Homo-oligomer: A and B are copies of this chain.
Amino acid sequence: MSKVLGTSTAPGGFRARLADAWARNDSLLCVGLDPDPARFPGAMRGRADRIFDFCRDIVDATAAEACAFKPQIAYFASQRAEDQLEALIAHIHERNPGLPVILDAKRGDIGATAEQYAREAFERYRADALTVNPYMGMDSIEPYLAWRDRGVIVLCRTSNAGGSDLQALSVEGGERLYQRVARLVAGPWNTSGQCALVVGATFPDELADVRRIVGDALPILVPGIGAQGGDIDASVKAGRTTDGTGMAINSSRAILYASAGDDYAEAARRVARETREAINRARRQV
């Protein structure tokens, strides 16, 4: 079952590569790549054929501030830009060996179909990790785990208002659904240490809950700071591990669209650095 095809860019598992990136760049910042041509600067505006160019400039400007990049596949798929996504991830790997790329696609399907999604994410796009949805259960996660050097990041508590519709329901045993998901993913589903979780920054108390449930073993991908309004200090305090790491804190739009002018790459670098530094101040508070 083990599939190590040499498409990855560095030895070791996803978890190890992420830890290396935390240390090497002194950063817990994940830069999200959600390219919307309508918001591109200057002469690029509205041009879907410039998605690669825009994202490459953002990547090159911010790579030294980041522990990971997270392209969101919907922004590419809606523009027929799958080829640009392939080229972008190849570019990230080539320029930044070992820096993890998380493909945000929130996949969820049964075994035979999940195997196809795994090939798409890990073979075609050469992602280091993929976000997935837990609703269909453990056997919808297993096909991804066959790719031993890749990570599987399971949705647990999401940052949108409607996230509470199901995730906050009390389930048998007295815990809430997102707590049950955290316990399953950290326990029986995490057969080979490849799993991580998604917990939004908009609910710091619940982020702290999840960290208590999973201990220091699982990385947590935290969207929702920046444009979505999550608080950095509260999120870091709630989600950090004992050694002050354990998180990939994502910011997308606040970095990508920091300037609508020709200085967009420099502005992205500045916002990424400020965000990295704000995270670092918070993680080093006693």
Contact = CB atoms under 8 A, between A and B. Distances in A.
A109 B252 CA distance: 15
A253 B171 CA distance: 36
State the majority secondary structure of interface residues on A: helix
Contact of A166 (B34, B109, B112, B134): B134
Interface string A137-163: 111110000000000000100111111
- Per assembly, the copies of the chain total 2
Interface residues of A, number: 51
Given A124-B78, A158-B110, A166 B135 contact: yes
Interface stretch (A69-77, A91-99, A234-242): A69-77
Contact of A162 (B78, B138, B162): B138
Contacts of A170: 171-172
A254 interface: no
Interface of A: 34, 72, 74-75, 77-78, 80, 82, 106-114, 116-117, 119-120, 123-124, 133-141, 155, 158-167, 169-172, 177, 180-181, 184
